[in-house]
Amino acid sequence: MRSVAVVIQPGFAPFEFGLACEAFGLDRSDDGIPNFDFRIVAPDPGVVPSNIGFSINVEHGLEAAADVDILVLAPIPRASWASVDPRVTEVVRAAHARGAWLLSVCSGSFVIAASGVLDGKRATTHWRYTDTLSRMYPQIEVDPDVLYVQSGNIITSAGTAAGLDASLHLLRQELGSELTNRIARRMVVAPQRDGGQAQFIASPIPIDSSLSLAPVTEWMLQNLDAELSVDRLAARAHMSPRTFARRFKADLGATPAAWLARQRLLHAQRLLEETDLGLDRIASECGFGSAAVLRQNFARTMGLTPTAYRARFSCAAPEAVASEVASSEAASPEPVPA
């Protein structure tokens, strides 16, 4: 029997903690699925408060995690990111050293990062916190666009439900696809979701009005359908192209082309969510030129096609969305991204 311990600390998030219980703690032997020796542990056993006003009683201390095959790190409050309990990081290091799986959900990645075992590896966390994780641990390659990342025996996941995706990924490696698919059916979830967390990222447009380039970036946003070359933008900013490109990267953290491509995709997302415009019209308004180019860029960045994104997130009338999906598929089936 494989053993699993979930580490919770004061201020834990109940939903993410519950995901670990759902994935590893339930008895599914009636469906031919082997049980796990499942334990909930805390640095200080006893009453552990959650972040929404209730507490649970934890019987086991961290010593109960000393021999487990899978160690799950539940999210911790933001106030604890810079001062992770050293007793927990020691347990993480010991588990890693003996070859156990490490699995973090959402901000649980900060716990693994604090232990040092992610140095030089790729990881992720909730998209709201990826920049913070990168700044605190520059030796980690943080990927903000994926639902989860596996680096050796360490799996880090994005926020909330992505922890379930990561758990199913781990279960596939421990139990195989057939049994994991049974578990997913019992949960009434897809065994493996398409896309990454880029599709869920909000659309803040990083413009600081105090920056000298703010008038240019505002003009760019108002003219996404135009040909916006560096030469044209530099002339508008009254700079040489070389100086403009250097200042743009310094002020906004991206090249003009990369920033523009992201804003065009964000505008396409908004149009897919809020209107029933056809893909050709959206492509034209966003500066992609054609529906084919829009599909290619959207699928590469978002991990799913524009039509799939609209079906999932549209606020337009359902009948309009259904009609658009049907006509799009009939006219030009969209490739599923690899």
pLDDT score of 62: 97
Task: Indicate the residue among 143, 171, 199 that finishes a domain.
Answer: 199
pLDDT score of 200: 53
pLDDT score of 244: 93
Contact, 74 vs 8, CB < 8 A? yes
Task: Specify if 208 maps to a domain.
Answer: no
Q: Structural domain tally of the chain?
A: 2
The Cα 87–Cα 231 span in angstroms is: 56
pLDDT score of 119: 96
| 145 and 250 within one domain | no
The Cα 290–Cα 161 span in angstroms is: 34
| 261 and 145 within one domain | no
pLDDT score of 160: 79
| 147 and 43 within one domain | yes
| 150 and 256 within one domain | no
Task: Indicate the residue among 199, 222, 252 that finishes a domain.
Answer: 199
Task: Indicate which CATH number applies to the domain containing 127.
Answer: 3.40.50.880
The Cα 104–Cα 213 span in angstroms is: 40
pLDDT score of 207: 44
Whole-structure pTM value:
0.64
Task: Specify if 260 maps to a domain.
Answer: yes
Give every residue of the chain whose pLDDT is below 70, as ranges: 1, 190-211, 315-338
The Cα 279–Cα 331 span in angstroms is: 11
| 295 and 193 within one domain | no
Structural domain of 137: 3-199
The sign of the dihedral angle between the CA atoms of 168, 173, 177, 178 is negative
| 71 and 23 within one domain | yes
Distances (CA, A) of 304 to 65, 122, 312, 317: 39, 22, 10, 21
pLDDT score of 206: 45
| 128 and 220 within one domain | no
- DSSP label at residue 333: P
Task: Specify if 336 maps to a domain.
Answer: no
Task: Specify if 108 maps to a domain.
Answer: yes
| 90 and 55 within one domain | yes
Task: Specify if 65 maps to a domain.
Answer: yes
| 218 and 253 within one domain | yes
